Structures are given as C-alpha cells and as structure tokens.
Amino acid sequence: MASVEMQPVQPAVSVSHSRLQSMRLSALAGRTAATFVIAIGAVIILIPFLFMISTSLKSKNQLRAVPPPLIPWEATMVEVNGRMEPLFRVTVDGETADGAMVEMALVRNQPGGMGIFVDPQNPAKSVTLKIADQTPVRHIELHPENYVEAMTAVPFPRYFLNTLIVTFVGMAGVLISCTMVAYGFSRFRAPWLNWLFIVLLSTIMLPRQVTLIPVYVLFQRLGWVDTLLPLIVPAFFANAYDVFLLRQFFMTIPLEMDDAAKIDGASPIQTLWHVLVPQAMPVIVTVAIFHFLYAWNDFYEPLIFLHSRDNWTMAVGLQTFNALYSVNTHLIMAASVVMVIPPVLLFFLAQRQFIQGVVISGVKG
Amino acid sequence: MRQIRQSRLTLAQKEDLWAVFFISPWLIGFLIFTAGPMIMSFYFSLTRYNIIDAPIWIGFDNYLRAFGRDALFWHSLRVTLYYGSLALPLGLVAGFSLSMLLNQRVPGVSVWRTIYFLPSVIAGVAVAIVWSRIFSPQVGILNPFLERTFGVKGPGWFTDPNWAIPGLVIMSLWGVGGGVIIYLAGLQGIPTTFYDAAKVDGANAMQRFRYVTLPMMTPVIFYTLVLGLIGAFQYFTEVYVISGGSGGPQRATLFYNLYLYQNAFKFNEMGYASALAWVLFLIVLALTLLVFRSSALWVYYEGEVRKR
C-alpha cells in the first residue's frame, strides 16, 4: 500500500477568522455525531458476544427468565422458618419513615396478585402487599461449572486437539509450499512460467464444489476418509491465493539482493531462506494468520471427510453438540465461547497483521 | 572453449530445473487436486453414480433433469438470489456508510475498527449458533427487545419460512466490519488534493461525495460485490447449522450449495451433484465475466489519471 500523505492545504488568507471558527465548529459537531453513530453500532456488534458469554454462565433456571437479561441475575433467597423464600424490597406505608424500603421475604401468594411478606429476622411480623409493586432483590450469579459440563458432555478436548493438529500441520504445509512456489514464480524467467502463473490465478475462481466429489472419491480409494489427512495433505500443495500474495511481495524485493547471495555461492534454496524469507516476514505472518482462521473455522470439509465422532474438529463437534443438546443453551454457549477464544486471542495479538492482510488481499487482490 | 559453452547450456537448463523444483508443489497439487478432479467431475456429471457401483453413462440427462424436471434446483437458485439481493446491497450500504463515518477523523478509530472487525474472525458454526439463540422466540433477546422498544411482536425467525432469509441477512450484517476495513483503506487512499481541488471549485459535501469519493471507490465496491455474489452461491455453514442441514423451515433456506451437498452426501447422487457443481461453476464464471465486462462502463480506475 503506497501511503499517500498530503499536507492539508493552508486556508486562503482571505477567509476571515470567524468564518474559520464556525467551519471548525460544524466539523466538530459532525465528528461528534459520527462518533455517536459509530458507538451505537459498536454496542450492537458487541451484544452477541455479551449474550454468548453471559448465557454460558447462567444456570438452567436463569435461562427461563423472560426477557433474558444480558447480566446473569438470580433472585436472592432467604431462609424463613427452614424454607428458602424470595427476598423483596418492599415499601410499607406508615411503618417506616418517609417511604424507606425494607427487605422482606415473600412467603405466600394470595389471590389478586397479593402476597404475604415477612421480615426474615422476625418472621412473626408480616404484611400483605401487592407483589407487582415490590422490587425483587437479585444478585449476579455465575456458573463457570457450565464449561466443565460442556467440555465433558462430548469429547471436546479431543476435538480441540484434532483442530489444533489440522490447523498447525496445515499451516506448516501452506507456508512451506506457498513460499517455494511464490519464489519459483517471482525469480525465474521462462515463458512457460507465465502461462502456468495465469493457470494458477484462474484457479482462484474455481468453486471447490467442482473438484470436491472426485477428490472425495480419491481419498476414499486411499482409505483416508474419516482421518485428518484430507484436511492436511492438500495444504502441502500450495494454493493460488497465498502464492499470489507472497509473489506480489517477493516482486518488490530488489533482485540485487539475490545476486549478491548468488555471488557468495548461495544456492536458490539458501537465497530463498536467507534473503527473501526474512524480508517477507510480514506477509508470511499474514498468510499464517489467515490459514489459522480458515482451518479453525472451516466446517464444510471436516463435515464431509470426518465421519466418526472421535475424529471431528471443533466446528463439527460444536454443530453436533448444538443439534443434540439444543435445550441446554447455557452449555452450548459455553462450548461456543471455547471455540471462539483462540481466533479472538490471535486477533488481539496480531491485529496489525490482520488489518494489513485484509487490506492487501482486499484492495490489491 | 567447448567446456565453457557446455556449462553455459547446462546453466540455463539448471535454472529451468530449479524453477520446476520450486513450483512443483503447486504443479503436482494442480494435477492431483484440480485438473484431474475437474475432468473426472465433468465425466461424473454425465453419469449416474452412487460412489459404490461403477458410474453409468447417461449423457446430459443430469443437466436436463436440473433445468427441466427438478423444481428444487430452481427453488434453491431462487433462495440464493433472494438472499443475495437483500444481503449484498444492505451490506454495501451499511459497510460503506460506516467507513465514511470512521473516516471523519473520529477519536479512537483503531478501537472501533477492532470492534467492527471482531465478528469476521469467528465466522462459521459458533456465529450461527449464537444468532440462532438470539433470534429464538424462547431464549432469544431480539423479540423481547422489539416488543419493548417498538411494541412489535417479533416473528419466529428461523422457524418461520417467511422470516428465515431476512434473519440470515441480519446475521450477515453483523459481519459488515470485514468490508468496512477494505472501504476504509480505499477511502484513506484517496489523495486529499482531490478534495481540496473540489472545495476550491465550490463543491459542497454532497457533491464531493458524488464526484470524488464515489468514483474513486468504485473499484473497491465492485470487488466486494463480485466476491459477495460468489459467496452467496457458496453459502453453506451458517445455513447448515441453523436448519440442521435440512434447508428448512419448509425448504425456505435451501441454498444452492446446501442442495448440492444434500445430493452428494445425503442422497448419494454423486453424478447429479457433479452436474450441479458444474452449473455452479458456470454461474460463477458468467457472473464474474459479466461484471468485469460491464465494469468498464461504471468503474473508475485510479490508473486512468495517476500512475503509482
């Protein structure tokens, strides 16, 4: 990305001071309004995350609240005569000075929405009040044990491990093969290479469904279906998208550096490893991150190639868990949180590369 | 003398051998995973094939079946296009407006950018699960919100055939931040001199948007639209999770790609699914070429004026 930085043009001298000030003021107002709209949008974006986390920490009982609060509230209970009763903050006319509230427990419902409230300290003291007018006392109650329950209900640790294997072995494959191929396409000058590069680029447009069925048949003949191999092995044969990205970057590295290494007696492999790779690190990291995201979140291929439940990845395991345990929303949300933690963590650690990668592949692609 | 010439000759050959060595991973992969399977897939598309028995040649009958006899084929195309016709324009307008706002030198741009981009990194199963619960009439938060704020009783969303696609569209808008980053980079690439020149000519904010921003941004808009359209034809994970793979309720979310998957891996109709894959390929190809051709009419490329 060639950065275009221009100095703002100095305003013409003829613009009066007061006009300049009013222009500045309206710009400030515009910016404030823009910030406001952006902030509201940001809150909307964050709500599903909050919903996911808070639901994952609720008990089954808390799930039943209508409408479900974003904060896992739980009604506070007190013991009255050996039974747990819900605590309310009530206003008792005349009893307390200037309408102050006292905490009382609801012990029995009466017809007409009324209820008998007693003082937990002194159960003999009771009043009858309209329940709807009183405020229930509540506190935040978290259930982190949901995570343990979700992780042990189905073999999620196993799925997590499988996903890690697929992601990282595949990442090694992508990085090795794509830097090699990108080097081949950027540093050698044979006419047939140009033709092959056009062929490579045109494969970006090819939907994977076109090749999927014969590839499935091939893996089945090899006995690889229901193993992790179909998800890992193709990564070692480079892909057009990452090769293109890396090649574009290699092209910007001056050939003189290669020549210097060549004169020093370096082989092409050494040149690639010692000259180009260190300089291309930012793009290599970007490719690695994008592969991580792709492999971690991919559902389509694991669904097709993995059949028995011990071989699933997180994506397939989570989908099946969702289908089987659909009433246990709190457990499903806990499992979902576990699945999204690694990509979110990676995003926060490597934000700059992320944004750069999107921009490079988006604008320049 | 002779020796030198010989070694020169082998040097060129050596170079070629090195080139072959470096591109060999892709070359082998291309033959095994792309070229070979493409030929096979076209062959399968002309057969009846259930993966267990040998393929039976039936000529172009699979294609005739799709276009002539299979109502679900047309239905899945309609579902896909309906979704695309809602999600793409809305996503474009939302993403573009947001990036315009973010470009107003608002404080904390990087924080906002991070928040907006966050949904893009977790795309897939978890997103679909969370949204299926947000939309749920039982445990969800959207319908209570609609009822309390607007007094509207929300629909059943993913349980209502009329509302399932709009639900998916809303869900897709949550991921608008991926586009925002691309638009924002595009906006920041527009030289400020263009705006200054427009200001000197007396252009107001609206005119500056119409005659500077929009023409400068058309390549980016065009790119995201083409990708979005191709994406709609490949839409799978979210709708699989939400409908449990069925394309329900009442086939309202039977997207093209889901229908293809069902044929291949549920009904074992590998031949018919191959034909559907080729139709998909032709659609993607045609769309891409069409938009590329027409782009000359309305896309303004920076290179026309300024060389980098």
Q: What is the pLDDT of residues A282-322, one digit of tens each?
A: 889 989 998 999 999 999 999 999 999 899 999 999 999 99
A207 touches chain B (CB under 8 A): yes
Q: Binning pLDDT at 50, 70 and 90, where does residue B1 land?
A: very low
Cα–Cα dist B228/B138, whole Å: 32
Instruction: Quote the CA–CA distance of B122 and B178 in Å, as a whole number.
Output: 12
pLDDT at A133: 78
Interface probe, candidates A181, A193, A237, chain B, greatest B C-beta count within 10 A: A237
Q: Where are the alpha helices (DSSP H) in A67-222?
A: 145-153, 156-187, 191-202, 208-222
Rounded CA gap, A218 and B37, in Å? 9
DSSP string, A13-49: TTS-HHHHHHHHHHHHHHHHHHHHHHHHHHHHHHHHH
Picking from B99, B103, B102, B101, the residue whose alpha carbon sits closest to that of residue B179 is: B99
B18:A188 CB<8 A: yes
Tell me which of B26, B217, B235 to substitute to probe the interface with A (most A C-beta atoms closer than 10 Å). B26
Band of the pLDDT at A31, cuts 50, 70, 90? confident
Give the Cα separation of B169 and B94 in Å (integer). 12
**Chain A residues with beta carbon closer than 8 angstroms to that of B257:** 209
Residues A225/A226/A227/A229 CA torsion (nearest 10 deg): 40
Has residue B171 got a pLDDT over 60?
A: yes
Mean pLDDT of chain A, nearest integer: 86
Q: Which of residues 214-233 of A touch B (CB under 8 A)?
A: 214-218, 220
User: Whats the size of chain B, residue-wise?
Assistant: 308
- For domain A73-140, say whether CATH 2.30.30 is its number: yes
Residue bearing the bigger pLDDT, B148 or A357 = B148
Q: Which of A336, A355, A337 is nearest to B114 (CA)?
A: A355
Predicted TM-score (pTM) of the model is 0.86
CA dist., res. A224 & res. A61, Å (int)? 45
Please give, rounded to a whole number of angstroms, the shortest distance from the CA of B41 to a CA of chain A.
Answer: 6
Cβ contacts of residue B92 below 8 Å, gap of 6+? B179, B221, B224, B225, B228
Inter-chain residue contact B51 with A220, CB threshold 8 Å: yes
Domains by residue range for chain B, with CATH: 2-44 (no CATH), 68-304 (1.10.3720.10)
How far apart CA A70 and CA B37 sit, in angstroms, is 50
* Residue range A180-226, pLDDT digits in tens: 999 999 988 888 999 999 999 889 889 999 999 999 999 999 999 99
Tell me which of A213, A291, A316 to substitute to probe the interface with B (most B C-beta atoms closer than 10 Å).
A213
Is A70 close to B141, i.e. CB distance below 8 A?
yes
Give the pLDDT confidence of B105-126 residue by residue, as tens digits: 888 888 888 899 899 888 789 9
Cβ separation A213–B277 shorter than 8 A = yes
Q: Which residues of A touch B212 (CB under 8 A)?
A: none
pLDDT of residue A331: 94
- Name the nearest CA neighbour of B140 among A325, A207, A178, A65: A65
CB A355 to CB B113 under 8 A? yes
Cα B23 to Cα A172, A277, B91, distances in angstroms: 17, 16, 39
- Mean residue pLDDT of chain B comes to 88
Query: A183 at the B interface (CB within 8 A)?
Result: yes
Token pair 């406001």 in the structure block, residue: A36
Does A168 score more than 90 pLDDT?
A: yes
* Among the listed residues B301, B108, B91, the one whose alpha carbon sits nearest the alpha carbon of residue B179: B91
Give the residue among A132, A142, A290, A61 at the shortest CA–CA distance from B139: A61
The predicted pLDDT at position A218 comes to 95
Q: Which CATH architecture has domain A146-364?
A: Orthogonal Bundle (1.10)
Residue to substitute from B15, B21, B120, B125, interface A, most A β-carbons within 10 A: B125
Q: A297 vs B133: CB contact, 8 Å cut-off?
A: no
pLDDT at A100: 60
Mean pLDDT of the region A240-264: 89
The structural domains of chain A, with segments of one domain joined by +, span 17-71, 73-140, 146-364
Tell me if chain B has a CB within 8 Å of the CB of A329. Answer: yes
Interface predicted TM-score (ipTM): 0.87
Task: Calculate how close chain A gets to B166, using CA atoms only, in Å.
Answer: 18
Cβ of A315 and B125 within 8 Å? yes
Could you tell me how many CB contacts below 8 A there are between chain A and chain B?
271
- Give yes or no for A67 touching B (CB within 8 A): yes
Which one of B28, B122, B238 makes the best mutation probe of the A interface by having the most chain A beta carbons within 10 Å? B122
pLDDT at A303 (0 to 100): 96
* Closest approach of A42 to chain B, Cα-based (Å): 6
pLDDT at B221 over 70: yes
What pLDDT score was predicted for residue A72?
81
Query: Which residue carries 């993995």 as its tokens?
Result: A306
Q: How far apart are CA B203 and CA B193, in angstroms?
A: 13
Q: Is the pLDDT of residue A117 over 60?
A: yes
Question: β-strands A122-130, A77-80: how paired?
Answer: unpaired
Q: Which helix (H) or strand (E) holds A89?
A: strand A83-91
pLDDT computed for residue B308 by the predictor = 36
**C-alpha span between B191 and B187 (Å, rounded):** 9
CA of A85 vs chain B CAs: smallest distance (Å): 26
Query: What CA–CA distances, in Å, run from B148 to A72, B62, B135, B302?
Result: 20, 52, 15, 49
Judged by CB atoms closer than 8 Å, whether chains meet at B51 and A217 is answered as yes
Alpha-carbon span B5 to A85, nearest angstrom: 101
Query: Can you tell me the distance from the alpha carbon of A221 to that of B113, in angstroms, rounded to the nearest whole number?
Result: 47
Q: Which residue does chain A place closest to B177, by CA atoms?
A: A45
Chain A CB contacts of B41 under 8 Å are: 210-214
Q: Which helix (H) or strand (E) holds B47?
A: strand B47-48
Q: How confident is the model at residue B161 (pLDDT cuts 50, 70, 90)?
A: very high
**Do residues A146 and A130 lie in contact, with contact meaning Cβ atoms separated by under 8 Å?**
no
Q: Give the H/E segment covering residue A116.
A: strand A114-119
pLDDT in tens, B172-185: 999 888 888 888 88
* CA separation for the pair A279, B161 (Å, rounded): 54
